[in-house]
């Protein structure tokens, strides 16, 4: 039987984000959380392999206790077992410290044949965790994968290159990061939802994973946020008022005058 | 954790990227930036270039744009991009020469091997930097990138671990020719560095005409989450066609699979500099707007009057995209038909 791991992240749902009119900053209250969208594609890629092979799908996330919800959503789609990596000491982790926790958890679960991640999260926006994790698991990795096919112990990937695409073969065990166009994630089944509701999800702390406090969270992160700042733009900021016809007429008049229309 | 103390790490590196023997423009942008940082640190700028069949002209160009040293790593095993091999070779070179800073392109390739390098070196890596500067009192690299949500930027530092690694998107830094002389070094590559767990069996080079057209377009029409319906993309494309422009998107739209990956504008996508940019349903989160550079006229259509995009827009229209888009398309077509070709 194949063991496939899918790493997911719970992120703020951009659709529920509102901005402060004065500062332009995000208003945290009322922001809902979802599974990072491309992580659903990663899960779907694993489920598609399971459709054709004898496989067990392990889904894991590092996050606060509330990330339990994201794991149950993944179980309802068809994942077999979920694991929550949760510890106050994990907070403030950059990508390097995050891969230590994920790698320790995967080693505890057992030997994986394949690890699938979304290429990047909407909030962190780095695309660093997947390939970094592969190094810790001593696996080859292919990023920006747009198609996957497993035959015996060979995984065939189509990956984006910026000039077109490559066909890449890897022997398992290996890791891939996928992009949204790889597939359309399935909807949870009713049976899946029932199963997810009652599923036991182990919660592992740094201690459970045998991790030293110096290697995790902020303490284990080489990077630091120095400061954040807002940049004001020099813009004309003219609001065009009225109904749609009036607004469009006013805009076209200005664009014609500027010589761009 | 492996101890990488700050002592003995000197020099600024830029990793150059070649495609079919030619330097990608981002390589020159990074070399020029590396030179600027090296000058501030009173140290050397080095360009590292990997591949097979790289001509002497490539090295000359890298020196013209600021490299004091070109580390040329030529091997047939580097003819195709294999993530594990590139990462191991770069890591090996870094450990032998100990640069304090390494800049790599935030291309599909760079973003795939740099996290492997980061992990092997157990150091920091900051993705998609927009600005880089040196803190003069302690030689620390200040790395600026966009934060999630709102119009917030963040300065990141890697105070203790070395080297300081960053990726930088194409079209962000400026390539500058300098009068400079340099030298080429050809480091030996041990056989173990070239072992790979992967095989590239085919490389298809599609002409991504649309992608190139977007980065060079005079007019760009941008689709954001607020367009709500996939059908609206057809109207946006018609509008772009009528204006002789191209359609771009925010991450929300490419994540939905509504438009291809290469249309994504922003920190981890492309950077565009059109004369006219019209955004529909774009909130204006910095992760996206940093991809809009040197735009003469920015028009924003969004129904949320508090959307940050209005802060940077030349003209703002607070309205439902579904109401404005058809009317604007009709008007633009009318005006375009009237004007002589």
**A226 to chain B, minimum CA–CA distance in Å?**
5
The tens digit of pLDDT for each residue in B285-300 reads 888 888 998 888 999 9
Residue-range domain boundaries for chain A? 2-215
Q: State yes or no: pLDDT of B3 exceeds 50.
A: no
CB contact under 8 Å between B202 and A130, yes or no, is: no
- What stretches in chain A show pLDDT beneath 50? none
Q: pTM for the whole thing?
A: 0.87
Across the interface, of B201, B275, B327, the residue whose CB is closest to A248 is: B327
Per-residue model confidence (pLDDT) at position B196: 97
Query: How wide is the angle at C-alpha B51 spanned by C-alphas B48 and B55, nearest 5°?
Result: 85
In the predicted structure, residue B151 carries a pLDDT above the cut 70: no
Which band of pLDDT confidence, cut at 50, 70 and 90, is reported for residue B1? very low
- Residue B5: per-residue pLDDT: 61
- Please calculate the CA angle B192-B195-B201 and round it to the nearest 5 degrees: 160
Residue of A nearest to B307 (CA): A19
| Separation CA A224–CA B156 (nearest Å) | 6
| pLDDT at residue B148 is higher than 50 | yes
Q: In this predicted structure, which of A198-207, B14-23, B39-48 has the lowest mean pLDDT? A: B14-23
Across all residues in chain B, what is the average pLDDT? 91
pLDDT > 60? residue B142: yes
CA distance A255 to B274: 14
pLDDT in tens, B81-137: 999 999 999 999 999 999 999 999 999 999 999 999 999 999 999 999 999 999 989
CA atoms within 13 A on the CB side of A256: 14
Q: Considering only CB atoms, which chain B residues are within 8 Å of A117?
A: none
CB pairs below 8 Å between A and B: how many?
289
Residue B260: the pLDDT is: 85
Q: In the prediction, which pLDDT does B341 show?
A: 44
Give which of B3, B102, B150, B313 to mutate to test A binding, by max A Cβ within 10 Å. B150
**Cα distance from A198 to chain B (closest Cα, Å)?**
30
Stretch (H or E) spanning A48: helix A37-52
- A38: nearest CA partner in chain B: B255
Give the nearest chain B residue to A154 (CA atoms).
B198
Instruction: Give chain A positions within 8 Å (CB) of B298.
Output: 235
Greatest pairwise CA separation for chain A in angstroms: 68
**How large is the angle between the packed helices B232-242 and B321-338, nearest 10 degrees?**
30
Please name the member of B208, B225, B310 whose beta carbon is closest to the beta carbon of A14. Answer: B225
pLDDT of residue B149: 64
For A228, list phi and psi in degrees, rounded to 5. -120, 155
**pLDDT digits 0-9 by tens, A59-99:** 999 999 999 999 999 999 999 999 999 999 999 999 999 99
Q: Give the pLDDT band of residue B14 (cuts 50, 70, 90).
A: very high
Nearest to B255 among A37, A164, A240 (CB): A37
Q: Hey, are the CB atoms on A168 and B199 less than 8 Å from each other?
A: yes
Closest residue of B to A16, CA-based?
B149
Domains in chain B, start-ordered, CATH in brackets? 12-194 (3.40.50.620), 209-338 (3.40.50.1220)
ipTM value, please give it: 0.92
The model's pLDDT over B325-334, given as tens digits with 9 standing for 90+, comes to 999 999 999 8
CB contact under 8 A, A19 and B116: no
C-alpha–C-alpha distance, residues A156 and A135, integer Å: 20
- Tell if the CB–CB gap between A214 and B1 is shorter than 8 Å: yes
Asked whether the beta carbons of residue B257 and residue A180 sit closer than 8 angstroms, the reply is yes
pLDDT value, residue A21: 63
Distance of CA B253 to the CA centre of its chain: 19
Question: In DSSP terms, which residues pair with B19 in a beta bridge?
Answer: B22
Q: What is the Cβ-side half-sphere exposure of residue B253, based on CA atoms within 13 angstroms?
A: 32
User: What does each C-alpha distance from B328 to A246, B1, B102, B286, B341 come to in angstroms?
Assistant: 10, 59, 47, 26, 20
Query: B246-249 and A203-204 as β-strands: parallel, antiparallel, unpaired?
Result: unpaired
> Smallest Cβ distance to B148: which of A125, A215, A258?
A125
**CATH topology assigned to domain A2-215:** Rossmann fold (3.40.50)
């Amino acid at each position: 039987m194949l063991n496939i791991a899918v790493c997911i992240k719970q992120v703020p749902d951009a659709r529920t984000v509102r901005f402060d009119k004065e500062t332009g900053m995000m208003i945290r209250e009322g922001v809902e959380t979802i599974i990072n969208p491309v992580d659903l594609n990663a899960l779907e890629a694993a489920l598609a392999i399971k459709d054709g092979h004898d496989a067990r799908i392990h889904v894991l996330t590092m996050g606060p206790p509330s990330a339990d919800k994201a794991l149950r959503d993944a179980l309802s789609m068809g994942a077999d077992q979920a694991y929550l990596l949760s510890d106050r000491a994990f907070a403030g982790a950059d990508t390097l410290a995050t891969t230590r926790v994920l790698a320790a958890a995967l080693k505890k679960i057992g030997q994986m044949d394949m690890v699938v991640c979304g290429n990047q999260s909407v909030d962190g926006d780095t695309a660093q965790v997947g390939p970094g994790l592969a190094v810790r698991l001593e696996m080859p990795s292919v990023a920006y994968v747009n198609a996957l096919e497993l035959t015996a112990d060979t995984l065939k990937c189509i990956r984006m290159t910026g000039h077109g695409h490559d066909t890449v073969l890897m022997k398992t065990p290996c890791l891939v990061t996928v992009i949204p166009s790889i597939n359309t994630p399935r909807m949870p089944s009713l049976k899946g939802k029932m199963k997810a509701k009652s599923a036991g999800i182990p919660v592992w702390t740094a201690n459970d994973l045998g991790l030293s406090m110096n290697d995790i969270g902020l303490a284990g992160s080489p990077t630091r946020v120095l400061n954040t700042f807002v940049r004001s733009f020099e813009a004309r900021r003219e609001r065009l008022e009225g109904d749609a016809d009036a607004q469009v007429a006013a805009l076209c008049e200005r664009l014609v005058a500027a010589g761009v229309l | 954790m492996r101890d990488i103390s700050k002592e003995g790490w000197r020099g600024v590196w830029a990793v150059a990227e070649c495609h079919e023997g030619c330097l990608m423009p981002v390589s020159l942008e990074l070399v020029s930036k590396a030179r600027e940082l090296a000058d501030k640190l009173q140290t050397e700028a080095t360009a590292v270039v990997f591949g097979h069949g790289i001509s002497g002209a490539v090295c000359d160009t890298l020196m013209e744009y600021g490299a004091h040293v070109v580390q040329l790593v030529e091997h047939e095993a580097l003819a195709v991009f294999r993530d594990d091999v590139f990462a191991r070779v770069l890591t090996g070179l870094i450990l032998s020469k100990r640069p304090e800073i390494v800049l790599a392109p935030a291309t599909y390739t760079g973003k795939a091997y740099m996290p492997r390098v980061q992990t092997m070196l157990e150091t920091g890596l900051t993705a998609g930097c927009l600005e880089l500067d040196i803190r003069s009192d302690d030689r620390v690299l200040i790395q600026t990138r966009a934060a999630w949500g709102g119009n917030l930027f963040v300065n990141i530092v890697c105070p203790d671990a070395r080297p300081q690694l960053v990726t930088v998107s194409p079209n962000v830094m400026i390539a500058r020719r300098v009068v400079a002389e340099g030298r080429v070094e050809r480091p030996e590559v041990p056989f173990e560095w070239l072992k790979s767990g992967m095989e590239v069996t085919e490389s298809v080079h599609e002409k991504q005409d649309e992608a190139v057209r977007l980065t060079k377009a005079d007019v760009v029409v941008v689709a954001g989450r607020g367009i709500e319906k996939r059908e609206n993309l057809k109207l946006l494309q018609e509008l772009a066609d009528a204006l002789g422009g191209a359609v771009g998107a925010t991450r929300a739209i490419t994540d939905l699979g509504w438009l291809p990956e290469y249309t994504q504008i922003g920190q981890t996508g492309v950077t565009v500099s059109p004369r006219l940019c019209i955004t529909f349903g774009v909130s204006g989160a910095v992760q996206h707007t940093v991809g809009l550079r040197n735009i003469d006229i920015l028009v924003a259509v969004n129904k949320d009057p508090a959307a940050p995009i209005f802060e940077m827009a030349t003209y703002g229209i607070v309205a439902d995209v579904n109401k404005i888009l058809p009317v604007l398309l009709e008007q633009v077509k009318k005006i375009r038909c009237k004007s002589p070709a």
